[in-house]
Amino acid sequence: MELPAQEMAPVVNRIRRARGQLDGIIRMLEDGRTCEDVVTQLAAVSKALDRAGFAVIASGLRQCVATDDSELDVKRMERLFLSLA
């Protein structure tokens, strides 16, 4: 199963923003910023990456359901969802 590039464009953008946030977190740590500031940014990056992962899984699930010749492997999809939990 391949992910359609046009469908993944927003996911790629989200991951790029998260990468920028991670660079910012590294700078915050190097500059000695407060724990609260760093944890707040870490939580934001984590949420952004979770949403990107869910979007990828949702796209894959949609493809599995839409394709007549592919069998939906519920256990496999469950493992993918749980890997993000």
pLDDT digits (tens, 9 = 90+) for 8-26: 899 999 999 999 999 999 9
For 46-85, the pLDDT digits (tens) are 999 999 988 888 887 776 666 655 566 677 777 777 777 7
Q: CATH no. for residue 27?
A: 1.20.58.1000
8 Å CB contact between 84 and 57: yes
Q: Could you give the CA distance from residue 81 to residue 56 in angstroms, rounded to a whole number?
A: 10
pTM assigned to the model: 0.73
Q: What is the 3-state secondary structure (H, E, C) of 32-63?
A: CCCHHHHHHHHHHHHHHHHHHHHHHHHHHHHH
| 3 state SS of 72 | coil
| Predicted local distance difference test score (pLDDT) of residue 61 | 72
Quote the number of domains for the chain. 1
8 Å CB contact between 52 and 14: yes
